[in-house]
Amino acid sequence: MNVGAAQSPDSALASIISAILVIVGHQSIATGIAIALPVAAAGQVLTVFARTITVVFQHAADKAAEEARFRTIDLLHVSALGVQALRVAIPALVGLAVR
């Protein structure tokens, strides 16, 4: 859980990547834990980066709200959610490719 401006390590990304590498790579649970810790720290950086990108979408949604363009607001919200999804999906696909 994040508190204020403090950003917690990304446990979702860490669990996905370590599970992929342990299951597909036939590794031990200890190896999965060893992989998860640095991946969680790297995921923390990716989360900050993704949230920085979504600020652009938020400002565009504010402008669309001033002009009462509700369809645009919907599309911007879904697009910002897509950035968050890519934050986990791209590293997971790279993990599958590297395994």
| Percent of all residues in the chain with a pLDDT value above 70, rounded to a whole number | 96
Chain segment 28-69, per-residue pLDDT in tens? 999 999 999 999 999 999 999 999 999 999 999 999 999 999
Secondary structure of the chain in the HEC alphabet?
CCECCECCCCHHHHHHHHHHHHHHHCCCHHHHHHHHHHHHHHHHHHHHHHHHHHHHHHHHHHHHHHCCCHHHHHHHHHHHHHHHHHHHHHHHHHHHHHC
pTM as predicted: 0.77
> Do the Cβ atoms of 83 and 60 come closer than 8 Å?
no
Residue 6 above 70 pLDDT? yes
| Percent of all residues in the chain with a pLDDT value above 90, rounded to a whole number | 76
